[in-house]
Amino acid sequence: MAHAVGDSKQRHGGSRSRARPWLARLCFLLAACAVTILGTFAGLASFVILALGLASAAVSVAAAFWFLADHGVRRYLACGLFVLSPLAVITAFVFTRLLWVALASGAAWLLAALSARAALAPDPAEWQMPELPAEPPAAHPFLIMNPRSGGGKVAKFDLKRKAEDFGAKVFLMDSPGRVDVARVAHQAVADGADLLGVAGGDGTQALVAAVAAEYGIPFVVVTAGTRNHFALDLGLDRDDPAAGLSALNDGVDVRVDLGSVDGRTFVNNASFGAYAEVVQTQAYRDDKVGSVLELLPDLIRGNRGAKLTARAGDVVISAPQAVLVANNPYGTDDLAGLNRRSRLDRGQLGIIAVKVGSARQAIALLRRSRPTGLTSLTAPAVTIDSDTAALPVGIDGEAVTMPTPVQCSIRSKALRVRLPRNRPGVQPPAAPMDWVRLRRLALPSPSRDQRPPPTIRTSDPTDAASKIQ
């Protein structure tokens, strides 16, 4: 079986290598079509189309900032501007009979971008976490289930009965009041449990994962939470929580990192600043959207909340409005760099700090190459300090308060996660756009050494300073 899997990977790798040049050529062909469509059917008006598109994007971003940063009439005006800006551009294209030209050219550009991404896509060996040799099924698995998590997924998918059918002992968090799940997990291990698992949210996953890591026993994730970010980044099926239970008798193991914030474990991230301040309020529990809209203006303007300072090695980030510290960096194919994590075993924290105090700085975020107001780097540790004695922190969505300074670090490959053998898997990360490499793929030089494509490094600590945008 191992040889068959290896041969299959080699075949797919060879097919991918052969397809890359043709995908690169297709990208350039589609880009040429996009330009030709504009030039042929719009002429000089093509510059107007581009200018209107860029202006509309800038106005929309500025309006979004004003909507978040202001109260009262200005907020409503900003909302109207955010909606009317793209509508005005579309109306202008309709009256000048250029709408179809803009749409056709835009579609060609989109297909060109997709072709480029496929041509530059990293090889699976770069982003797939290695699986460990198969272990025999646990003799005494113990699962903790939160029946309220995810809108009642435990009952909806009959998870308790199905887990017991696999031989697991199940503890239901159905008692009134707050349950000390870490204590329950410790007691389970003391009673002989040789595997721990959780059907619940990421906060509960983190508490029990810390216990599993402490005792060196496997950990099973069941996607019974609302968002299941940790499970998604492990390649599990969010729509079928019961599928994760098959790991109890037919699983494979991977080693993943765990984040730590002042000794408390997190599997996803710890947030400081605006978000952490909002989730601390009592009003947030009753009206999440209303609380965010009410508090954000003062947080953005610096009239509320602690003044933060983040230090990672030699890098100092002063007065950011928000800092996100992630257990391994998130993908970088969106504006803020908050996508999915293809690997959880790089041994690095992903650090993202936002400092946007004006509409001009918000518009500057559109500059993907060097956006101002956004700092992104990786490091094995980071210290968050403030001008206050204590600091609100959001740890995997749970609101806590910690004394300053707050120390965040990474525990490399601390947790052994047991995954079902058959699972959707992790989505491959999008490669950054590299026109030089695309050209070399499309038009390879016979004299150039046949070297493998460069790997995508997302978590090299030596590159931390260079990643500041």
What is the rounded distance in angstroms from the CA atom of residue 417 to the CA atom of residue 265? 15
Q: Are strands 169-172 and 141-145 parallel, antiparallel or unpaired?
A: parallel
What is the rounded distance in angstroms from the CA atom of residue 14 to the CA atom of residue 194? 42
What is the rounded distance in angstroms from the CA atom of residue 30 to the CA atom of residue 5? 36
Select from 128, 157, 190 the last residue of a domain.
128
Assigned domain for 260 exists = no
Find the CATH number of the domain harbouring 338.
2.60.200.40
Nearest to 351 by CA among 309, 388, 390: 309
Assigned domain for 312 exists = yes
Assigned domain for 174 exists = yes
Assigned domain for 259 exists = no
Confidence at residue 442, expressed as pLDDT on a 0 to 100 scale: 87
- Do residues 151 and 107 share a domain? no
Q: For the chain, what is the domain count?
A: 3
For 369, residues 6+ apart whose C-beta sits below 8 A from its C-beta are none
pLDDT tens, position by position, for the chain (469 residues)? 333 333 444 445 556 678 889 999 999 999 999 989 888 887 777 777 778 888 888 888 888 878 877 777 888 888 898 889 888 888 888 888 888 888 998 899 999 999 998 898 888 777 788 899 878 899 999 999 999 998 899 999 999 999 999 999 999 998 887 889 999 999 999 999 999 999 998 999 999 999 999 999 999 999 998 888 899 999 999 889 999 999 999 899 999 999 999 999 999 999 898 767 665 655 445 544 554 555 455 455 555 667 899 999 999 999 888 888 999 998 765 544 456 888 999 999 999 888 876 666 666 666 655 556 778 899 999 999 998 999 989 899 888 899 999 999 999 999 999 999 989 888 777 777 888 888 888 887 665 545 555 444 444 443 444 333 3
Confidence at residue 279, expressed as pLDDT on a 0 to 100 scale: 59
Which two structure tokens, joined as six digits, stand for 232?
């998604």
Q: Are 283 and 294 in contact (CB under 8 A)?
A: yes
- Do residues 198 and 323 share a domain? no
Run of H or E including 399: strand 398-403
- Do residues 281 and 388 share a domain? yes
Distances (CA, A) of 140 to 135, 164, 189, 247: 14, 11, 9, 14
Confidence at residue 9, expressed as pLDDT on a 0 to 100 scale: 45
Q: Are strands 219-222 and 195-199 parallel, antiparallel or unpaired?
A: parallel
Q: Are 247 and 163 in contact (CB under 8 A)?
A: no
Helical H segments across 70-191, by residue range: 72-95, 99-120, 124-127, 153-156, 159-165, 181-190
- Do residues 174 and 274 share a domain? no
Sign of dihedral through CA atoms 61, 63, 64, 66? positive
- Do residues 200 and 293 share a domain? no
- Do residues 199 and 307 share a domain? no
Q: Which domain holds residue 29?
A: 2-128
In DSSP notation, 247-268 reads GGTSEEEEEEEEEEETTEEESS
For 240, residues 6+ apart whose C-beta sits below 8 A from its C-beta are 157, 223
Which two structure tokens, joined as six digits, stand for 251?
């699983």
What is the rounded distance in angstroms from the CA atom of residue 162 to the CA atom of residue 147? 14
Nearest to 198 by CA among 181, 214, 213, 215: 181
Assigned domain for 208 exists = yes
Confidence at residue 337, expressed as pLDDT on a 0 to 100 scale: 47
Assigned domain for 112 exists = yes
- Do residues 191 and 88 share a domain? no
Distances (CA, A) of 404 to 320, 359, 384: 16, 31, 7
Select from 372, 390, 410 the last residue of a domain.
410
- Do residues 273 and 187 share a domain? no
Q: Determine the angle formed by the axes of helices 435-442 and 2-41, rounding to 10 degrees.
A: 100
Find the CATH number of the domain harbouring 191.
3.40.50.10330
- Do residues 275 and 405 share a domain? yes
Assigned domain for 421 exists = no
Confidence at residue 457, expressed as pLDDT on a 0 to 100 scale: 44
Run of H or E including 394: strand 390-395
In DSSP notation, 230-246 reads HHHHTT--TT-GGGGGG
Nearest to 92 by CA among 53, 59, 132: 53
Confidence at residue 158, expressed as pLDDT on a 0 to 100 scale: 95
- Do residues 276 and 183 share a domain? no
What is the rounded distance in angstroms from the CA atom of residue 417 to the CA atom of residue 248? 11
- Do residues 162 and 243 share a domain? yes
Q: What share of the chain is helix, strand, coil (3-state, %, to 5)?
A: 45, 20, 35
Select from 66, 95, 128 the last residue of a domain.
128
Torsion of CA 18, 22, 27, 30, to 10 degrees: -150
Assigned domain for 426 exists = no
Confidence at residue 163, expressed as pLDDT on a 0 to 100 scale: 96
Confidence at residue 225, expressed as pLDDT on a 0 to 100 scale: 86
- Do residues 280 and 230 share a domain? no
